[in-house]
Copies of this chain bind each other. A is one copy, B any other.
Amino acid sequence: MQDPGTVTIVGAGLAGPLLACSLAQAGRRVDLYEKRSDPRLRGPERGRSINLALSTRGIHALRRVGLADEVLRASALMRGRMIHHPDRSLTFQPYGNDDSQALRSVSRAGLNLLLVEAAARLPGVRLFFDRKCTGMDLASGTLEFAEGRIQAGFVVGADGVYSAVRSALQKQERFDYSQEYLGHGYRELTIPAGPGGAFPLEPGALHVWPRGAFMMIALPNSDGSFTCTLFWPFEGPNSFAALTNERDVLAYFELQFPDVPGLVPTLAHDFLHNPTGSLVTVRCRPWHHAGRVVLLGDACHAVVPFLGQGMNAAFEDCTVLADCLARHGANRTAAFVEYEARRKEHVDVLADLCIDNFLEMRDRVAARAFVLWKKLALLLHRAFPRWYVPLYVMIEFTLIPYADAVRRARRQDRAVRGVAFVLLLLLAAIVVGAFLR
């Protein structure tokens, strides 16, 4: 039997156990249910998206529960983007002006294990693995698992993009919902570590092979290997559907990513045998029901991965939800309403930014004008660190809510254009003055 004050969290991926830590530290009882097996009992999982980019928002949320230092110790610093051009030349584009403005590459499996262990250490937290949630009866508050049913008074759906808890809310009238797939999918490849664990590419960067309509990226792992992700259209001329045999794959890589075949000995085989993932944006509203059920992270706002903000935004959800619950005490509906009001606008904006950044990464990063503008923006930021903060820096390296960051970036850019215009006028006046003298 569950204690009536217990919070039942469905999903012990990343946000679920983080929220469990936060609530247990505030003295609540938490039951955490997860469909996969206990990560403490199995070796590291071979799956999709095996490393993630942790940034300031996520670090802040981890710090709140006292886990930031441990996570950062196991992470690899990425100070900027290393652009791989088709002629094998490289250019480095820093993210910020110093190491406080750098992304951290972390292993998804390692982080999952660390968070589960941290939750398990806290009094009041119970963990249940191998329990696949299949739905919920909202009227009775019964959670349905493949392995049986449980009665729950307060349910948090942290069960990801294909959330079973959300699917119960979805059957309610007046529930807005959308799922939109990109025409691009992704496939992963591994660049193995060199002899003695040496990094075959620069370790302090996120590597990008921008090719206009498609791209490949690679993030460093702490063991010296890199995880590459190729983002490609599903169909059409340059697509997953177009390459079906090893010779074509190798020829294509030699042409488009000439530095890669030498780094991945099993390239063609892996390419043809690894699964293709799809990329979806999920939006919905409301995020809660009857003061009893609330959604979190990908379950209510899945985004495409091009800003590395999915996990960071989900961790921010945890902080805000815990704050709202603490502030409103027994009035859970009020807590949920405030939580959604503080998050919804911002993650909606984030969803659009993530799609925009796909265009930036696969296309614009290779353009000279873009590189110049990025350099100028960082120079302005260095000269006027409080007055001018590039949008990318606000998203990755501050806690400014996403929509506020976009509004501020627009104001800044208008101001820069205004100043540039005045400077041009002054320059013209000086030139004319010198000419007339």
- The 0/1 profile, CB within 8 Å of B marked 1, for residues 167-183 of chain A is 00000011111111100
The minimal Cβ–Cβ distance linking A334 to chain B, given in whole angstroms, is: 16
The minimal Cβ–Cβ distance linking A315 to chain B, given in whole angstroms, is: 27
* A342 and B278 alpha carbons, distance in the complex (Å): 27
Instruction: Check A234 against B174 for contact (C-beta < 8 Å).
Output: yes
The minimal Cβ–Cβ distance linking A398 to chain B, given in whole angstroms, is: 32
Give A232-265 interface residues, CB cut-off 8 Å to B: 234
Instruction: Check A179 against B179 for contact (C-beta < 8 Å).
Output: no
Chain B residue nearest to A234 in the complex (CB):
B174
The minimal Cβ–Cβ distance linking A71 to chain B, given in whole angstroms, is: 31
Instruction: Check A177 against B179 for contact (C-beta < 8 Å).
Output: yes
Cβ of A180: which chain B residues have Cβ within 8 Å of it? Answer: 176, 178
Chain B residue nearest to A279 in the complex (CB):
B174
* A54 and B175 alpha carbons, distance in the complex (Å): 30
- The 0/1 profile, CB within 8 Å of B marked 1, for residues 149-188 of chain A is 0000000000000000000000001111111110000000
Q: How many copies does the complex hold?
A: 2
Partner among B176, B181, B234, B278 whose Cβ is within 8 Å of the Cβ of A179: B176
* A177 and B177 alpha carbons, distance in the complex (Å): 8
* A189 and B179 alpha carbons, distance in the complex (Å): 36
Cβ of A173: which chain B residues have Cβ within 8 Å of it? Answer: 181, 278
Partner among B174, B177, B181, B234 whose Cβ is within 8 Å of the Cβ of A175: B181
Chain B residue nearest to A283 in the complex (CB):
B178
Chain B residue nearest to A182 in the complex (CB):
B174
* A362 and B408 alpha carbons, distance in the complex (Å): 37
Chain A residues with a Cβ under 8 A of chain B? 173-181, 234, 278
10 contacts between A and B (CB under 8 A): A173-B181, A173-B278, A174-B181, A175-B181, A176-B178, A176-B180, A177-B177, A177-B179, A178-B178, A178-B179
